[in-house]
Structure 1
């Protein structure tokens, strides 16, 4: 059973990452609708605002509580986030509060934050509200995906992207519910599970990048395509871990090396979008978004390597 200290720290770190991801998913959904569907635009806007408010609450509870390693990982915000938000707001006409990003940049991590009974209660309440909000967002994504596949709704977001972000919402819910039950994970099996999940996510990121590039961006297209193929193979390797966990250290190392390379490619692409040097139909915030997801996965993989070294 997780101690109060681990429960609070893990909850705040998980929420700091995924609440922003969920907020941005809502932005991308809203930006993808046409004027035919004002009700869908309004629902996505509502969900964006819900996760914005939850994220602000989480930020206020996190200062001096989360670990320094996580605070510095680049999974919450990067040095490109504010500019990517500004440009995306300009292009899409969707309000994005820059003060939330500024607040996140000020959060400090410590090794031994003071955990009080009051903080435990506040985190528990926040987690319950996050579960409800994530359930609402997942239901919205699921319904939208069904309608798109049935040709009832048009969106500029790929059906695969809708399925992709639905899986991320379900993944977030899984981790939140485990925390609320104070479950301690079997770290080896959790590593195998998460590497299967995140390698697939990285493969799909590569394919989305490929599909959002202008057809004239041949070199970038080919690089993105190569990453997609590499991570398809890594996903297949990670799936094999369920029957042979002895392969985990090798798969973890290959996943880490390739994710670092992909993260650098994504960052270069995000800079290119911000500087108007890449021809694409991707919002700059989407570029920064996938950079942060790669940073999150890199941090997790490094944690898995440390655990494996001690085993």
Structure 2
């Protein structure tokens, strides 16, 4: 059973990462709908506001609590996040509160704080609110995906991308519920699960990047395509770990090396998008978003090692 200190710290770290991810999923969904689907636009906007407020509350509770490893990992915000938000707001017309990003950037400098009984109660309540909000956004994503696949709704987002972000919401829910039950992780089982999950996510990031690039961006297209192939192979290797668990250190090492490589590729791509040097239909914030997910996975892989 998790100690009170670990429960609070792990809850806040999980929420800081996934609440921002969910907030941005709402933005990407909203930006992808056509004019006639204004009820869907309004729902995505409402979900963005819910996760924005949850994230503000979490940041305020996290000062002096979260570990330096998470604060400095680049999974919460990066040096590019503020500019990526500014450019994406300009392109899409969707309001993005960059004060939230400034608050998160200041977390690195916060002084260590004692965890109290009141803090534990507040975090339990926060997790319950996060579960309710994540159930809502998961239902929304599922309904949108079903309508897109049945040709009842059109969106500029790939059906695979909607399925992709639905799986991320389900992972967030799974981890929140484990924390609320004070469950300690079985490291071997969790390592295999996380590597299957995130290697697939990295493969799909590569394919989305490939598909959203202008056809003239041949070199970037080929690099993204190669990453997609490499992570498809790593996903298959991670799935086979149940048959040969002795290979876990080897697969973890390969996953780490390739995730660092793709993170660097994504950083260069996001810089190119912000500087208007890459021809594509990719919002800069989507570039920064996938950089942060890679940074999150890198930290997880290093902890498993």
TM-score range, shorter chain: over 0.9
Instruction: Tell me how large the CA RMSD over aligned residues is.
Output: 1.0
User: TM-score, normalising length from structure 1?
Assistant: 0.97
Q: Matched residues in 2 for 1:52 and 1:112: separation? A: 25
After TM superposition, list the pairs within 5 Å mapping 1:33-182 onto structure 2.
33-108=33-108, 113-182=113-182
Count how many residue pairs are aligned between Structure 1 and Structure 2.
305
Question: For 2:87, what is the secondary structure of its paired residue?
Answer: helix
User: Are the counterparts in 2 of residues 64 and 110 from structure 1 also a CA contact under 8 Å?
Assistant: yes
How far off its partner does 1:108 sit? Answer: 3.1
Alpha-carbon offset, residue 114 of structure 1: 1.2
1:256 is aligned to: 256
The aligned counterpart of 2:243 is 243
Partner of 2:216: 216
Q: Which of 173-182 and 111-120 deviates more? A: 111-120
Check conservation: 2:11, 2:179, Cα contact below 8 A: yes
Q: How far does residue 184 in structure 1 lie from its aligned partner after superposition?
A: 0.4
Structure 1 pair 157–37 and aligned structure 2 pair: CA distance change class (3 A)? same
Q: Compare 105-114 and 191-200 and name the one that shifted more.
A: 105-114
Secondary structure of the residue that 1:222 maps to in structure 2? helix
SS, match of residue 153 in structure 2: coil
* Aligned mates of 1:230, 1:111 — CA distance in 2: 41
Alpha-carbon displacement from aligned partner over 1:265-287 (angstroms, at most 9, x marks no partner): 00000000000000000000000
- Structure 2 unaligned spans of 5+: none
Q: Partner residue of 2:273? A: 273
* 1:203 and 1:228 in contact (8 A); partners too: yes
2:298 is aligned to 298
Instruction: Give the distance between the partners of 2:295 and 2:99, measured in 1 at CA.
Output: 22
Q: What corresponds to 2:183 in structure 1?
A: 183
Q: Compute the TM-score of the two structures, normalised by the length of structure 2.
A: 0.99
Contact persistence 1:67–1:109 (CA under 8 A): no
Contact in 1 for aligned 2:127/2:176 (Cα 8 Å): yes
Mark the runs of 5 or more structure 1 residues left unpaired by the alignment: 306-311
Inter-partner Cα distance in structure 1 for 2:188 and 2:66: 23
Q: What is the Cα deviation at residue 243 of structure 1? A: 2.2
Take 2:198 and 2:242, find their aligned partners in 1: how far apart are those partners?
Answer: 15
Please state how far the C-alpha of 1:7 moved relative to its aligned partner: 0.2
Cα 1:110–1:189 change in 2 (3 A) is: farther
Q: Is the 8 A contact 2:63 2:112 kept in 1?
A: no
Q: Name the CA distance, whole Å, in 1 between partners of 2:219 and 2:72.
A: 32
